């Protein structure tokens, strides 16, 4: 068994940045609640609720990293590495629910636009924009390596858009007295979030279904393995993702001469590591006689 902590997941490398983003977001959320209560701004209070989901998402991401670092057991042979993927799934679901809430709030405000003190509303929103930009900068690098960090990044991104929307709405209300700006911009933010959330959900679903990672061509992998001298067939070939940045592969390698099995295995391992970046490899070496004894063969 391998311990969860021995792998060093992609998200774990960015835990410090997640912690900083969590601290900044939580601090601003409290400031936004105070600002909303003082100014009577529904937009700020709604954005504070949005920030609350960000705080929860970032905290969940950090908790998932801690779980992923735990050692594997006889019951959980991969440890808790999949906790990061489950955290990303939770973040995506929260984002979808949040989007529904934003669109619903936009509808209510179109029907009955609330009175808003635009000056303080603008000031608080500008501070929020700065905080969100800093948090996005902290998480940007890790978002391309870990679904867990990506989920947190998207939450901060959506809140940054919320801050921009509040700023634009405050300016329009201040200059033009156009209170409908708030619900229209809010609906636009909700619509903008939806496709990005579905992309995240698609990636998470692919991992949970143990689908082939998008960057790996299984047909090409099979051709390259078959090109190894002495290899006559490759079957039961599977490639999947354990957690972000950690792919695994297993297959049966049919060789002409079993005495050359160790040599062919070393060649296959070197090929998979160099050309496909896969270290976690399980290969069964067999000859035609052993293959014929198998009851069921898979692709």
Cα angle 203, 19, 194; round to 5 = 35
Higher pLDDT, 180 or 257: 257
Tokens of 113: 């636009």
Model pLDDT, residue 14: 59
Q: Tokens standing for 45?
A: 């209070």
Q: What is the pLDDT of residue 6?
A: 42
Q: Confidence class of residue 4 from pLDDT cuts 50, 70 and 90?
A: very low
Ordered by where they begin, the domains of the chain are: 4-208 (1.20.1510.10), 218-292 (3.30.70.1350)
Those residues with Cβ within 8 angstroms of residue 29's Cβ, 6 or more apart along the chain or in another chain: 48, 51, 52, 54, 55
Q: For residues 244 and 14, is the Cβ–Cβ distance under 8 A? A: no
Question: Which stretch of DSSP H or E encloses residue 249?
Answer: strand 246-255
Longest CA–CA span in the chain (Å) reads: 84
Question: Stretch 9-14: mean pLDDT, rounded?
Answer: 55
Q: What are the pLDDT digits (tens) for 39-87?
A: 767 667 777 776 776 777 777 777 767 776 777 788 887 777 787 788 7
Choose between 143 and 62: higher pLDDT.
62
Helices (H), the chain: 4-7, 15-39, 42-68, 83-111, 118-143, 147-176, 181-208, 218-226, 261-276, 288-292
- pLDDT band of 1, cuts 50, 70, 90: very low
**β-pair partners for 248:** 240, 280
Distance CA 270, CA 204 (A): 29
pLDDT tier at 296 (50, 70, 90 boundaries)? low
Residues 4-26: b if buried by 16+ CB within 10 A, e if exposed: bbebebbbbbbbebbbebbebbb
Given a cut of 90, whether residue 176 has pLDDT beyond it is: no
Q: How many Å apart are CA 168 and CA 297, to the nearest integer?
A: 61
Instruction: Report which of 115, 101, 117 is spatially closest to residue 48, judged by C-alpha positions.
Output: 101
Of the ranges 20-29, 179-188, 218-227, which one carries the lowest mean pLDDT score? 179-188
Q: What pLDDT, on a 0 to 100 scale, did the predictor assign at position 165? A: 79
With a pLDDT cut of 70, the percent of the chain lying above it is: 87
Question: Regarding predicted confidence, which is higher, 13 or 110?
Answer: 110
What pLDDT, in 10s, does the model give residues 224-253? 999 999 999 999 999 999 877 789 999 999
Distance CA 282, CA 280 (A): 7
Residue 169's Cα: distance from chain center in Å?
Answer: 30
**How many residues comprise the chain?**
299
| Confidence at residue 267, expressed as pLDDT on a 0 to 100 scale | 96
Q: By percentage, how much of the chain surpasses pLDDT 90?
A: 24
pLDDT digits (tens, 9 = 90+) for 18-51: 788 888 888 888 888 888 787 767 667 777 776 7
Average pLDDT, the chain: 81
Beta-sheet strand order (sheet of 231-243): 231-243, 246-255, 280-286
Cα 117 versus chain centre, distance: 37
State how far the Cα of 279 lies from the Cα of 247, in Å rounded to an integer. Answer: 8
């Amino acid at each position: 068994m391998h311990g969860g902590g021995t792998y060093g997941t992609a998200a774990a490398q960015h835990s410090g940045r997640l912690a900083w983003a969590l601290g900044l977001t939580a601090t601003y959320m409290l400031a936004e609640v105070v600002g909303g209560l003082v100014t009577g701004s529904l937009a700020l209070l709604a954005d504070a609720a949005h920030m609350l989901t960000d705080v929860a998402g970032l905290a969940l991401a950090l908790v998932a990293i801690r779980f992923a670092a735990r050692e594997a057991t006889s019951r959980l042979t991969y440890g808790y590495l999949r906790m990061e993927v489950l955290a990303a799934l939770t973040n995506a679901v929260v984002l979808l629910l949040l989007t529904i809430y934003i669109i619903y709030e936009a509808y209510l405000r179109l029907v009955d636009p609330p009175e808003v003190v635009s000056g303080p509303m603008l000031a608080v929103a500008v501070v929020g924009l700065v905080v969100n930009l800093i948090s996005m900068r902290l998480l940007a690098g890790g978002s391309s390596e870990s679904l867990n960090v990506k989920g947190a990044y998207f939450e901060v991104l959506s809140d940054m858009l919320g801050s921009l929307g509040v700023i634009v709405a405050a300016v329009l209300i201040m200059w033009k007295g156009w209170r409908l700006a708030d619900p229209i911009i809010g609906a636009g933010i909700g619509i903008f979030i939806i496709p990005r959330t579905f992309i995240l959900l698609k990636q998470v679903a692919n991992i949970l279904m143990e689908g082939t990672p998008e960057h790996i061509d299984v047909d090409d992998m099979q051709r390259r393995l078959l090109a190894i001298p002495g290899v006559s067939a490759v079957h039961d070939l599977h490639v999947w993702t354990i957690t972000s940045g950690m792919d695994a592969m297993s297959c049966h390698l049919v060789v002409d001469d079993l005495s050359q099995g160790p040599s062919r295995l070393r060649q296959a391992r070197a090929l998979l590591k160099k050309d496909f970046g896969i270290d976690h490899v399980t290969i069964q070496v067999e000859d035609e006689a052993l293959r014929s004894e198998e009851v069921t063969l898979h692709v």
